[in-house]
Amino acid sequence: MPHRSLNPATGEVLAEYPCLDEAGLLSGFAQLRGLDAAHDRRRNFALLAQRLREQCDRHASLITVEMGKPIGEARAEVRKCATLCEYYSERDFLQPLEVATDASSSHVEYLPLGVVLGIMPWNFPYWQVFRAAVPALCAGNAFALKHAPNVPQCALEIERLFRECGFPFSTFLIETDLAERAISLSDAVTFTGSEAAGRKVAAMAGRNLRKCVLELGGSDPFIVLHDADIEAAADAAIASRFLNCGQSCIAAKRIILVPGIGEEFLFRFRKGVESLRIGDPMQEGCAIGPMARADLRDLLHEQVRDAIERGSVPVTGCEPVSGPGFHYRPSILDRVAADSRVLREEVFGPVAVLLHAEDEEDAVRLANDTRYGLGASVWSRDIDRAQRLGSRIEAGSLFVNAMVKSDARLPFGGVKASGFGRELSSFGVQEFVNVKTVWVS
């Protein structure tokens, strides 16, 4: 079955691309291994950043047309990729580490593994690839991309960019049934996507004894304490929850309020959510574009209806938008029951879930009452108290008075069912190297 590029704002089919069979996959990997690793990688990363900035509008338009992200957010995604490349162009993470022992000399050196396979999602079609590929390429590896089947044009354009800047990079348009074959042909695998798919990738990697990094789903808590700046917290919650039409693993999935602030927070939050402009994502000022696929919108509405049936209060939205495309109204569910699907499953769309804690201790309990552990956000004017409380939340990152985000300078990843391993910073490079001990007597 071909990979189909479809405009989610209109339902129009833009293009179709044939998939590789096993013979084509074998040939493609052989060709990738035959490419020279970029020797002057830092210079090439600088060139890649320059190309991204010069061609920002072109790449942003492709993102918007193919997966529905508002054009302003799409430009920001492209610029973030450029910033990432600039970060790696300015640093050397591979200097040997000298270690004093009873040898004449001893050190640790960092050598590439070979080919790293990246299995990437559609929601940030450029950033997710760059976040995985750039550290792996920095270590001297080649990179093989299996992108999501609904963004083939982005996948092929990303390959062009990396190749033109001198990197051993290939895109493979393959069906899911060839994923394990691709893993067996690679030397390591990095995956970003759903928990269910991540478990399958981890099993395949295990059977083939391949190192893997998994960045999976999230149900990030966003805790607002009684002494928080309520206006700032409400604004940040809107930005976090509704960025990319809510289709983000690190969005504020569960907003947890302590006693005494619920009414004020909900007033400000609702006012902001209802002011979000829905429409054509190619139009400047559009805040909420379509969801990426019709089946994703249908699943989201099933989760919302389940929550309402179990007693949740539908504050605003909570229904699809009629007409062409896959739009869903920005929505708020208040006082959500503990057995609702929106708390037990990842909610990947423009729906905010509000919970009311009995006290701060209960807020921590609610925050940890999930199988996920990607990020967490805590809001308070007492920074020390917020950090002490946040240290008890089971997550890969803690943001105090800020929304969760990824940053090239810091490691990114989760715990529990949100996966394992880290991307970005020096840690992302070290995930895909042979850490080799050298002892000389």
Query: In this structure, which long-range contacts are made by residues 153-161, counting pairs with CB atoms below 8 Å and at least 24 apart in sequence?
Result: 153/5, 153/14, 153/15, 153/62, 153/66, 154/62, 154/63, 154/66, 154/67, 154/125, 154/126, 155/125, 155/129, 156/17, 157/59, 157/62, 158/126, 158/129, 158/130, 161/48, 161/51, 161/52
> Residue 85 catalytic?
no
Which helix (H) or strand (E) is 25 found in, with range? helix 22-33
Tokens of 337: 């029951």
Instruction: Give CA separation, 126 vs 80, 81, 296, in Å.
Output: 9, 7, 20
List 215, 346, 360, 431, catalytic entry:
215
Residue 159, SS3 per DSSP: helix
Count of beta carbons in the 10 Å neighbourhood of residue 11? 12
Tokens of 36: 């020279």
Interatomic CA distance for residues 150 and 16, integer angstroms: 10
Amino acid code (one letter) for 414: G
DSSP one-letter string for 276-319: PPBS-TTSTT--B---S-HHHHHHHHHHHHHHHHTT-EEEE--S
Q: Which residues on adjacent β-strands are paired with residue 117?
A: 144, 189
309 tagged catalytic: no
The conformation of residue 243, written as its DSSP 8-state character, comes to G
Answer yes or no: are the C-beta atoms of 262 and 356 closer than 8 Å: yes
User: Distance between CA atoms of 162 and 145, rounded to whole angstroms?
Assistant: 11
DSSP letter at 63 equals H
Catalytic residue from among 138, 212, 249, 286: 249
The side-by-side arrangement of strands in the sheet containing 97-98 is: 97-98, 105-112, 433-440
List the catalytic residues: 215, 249
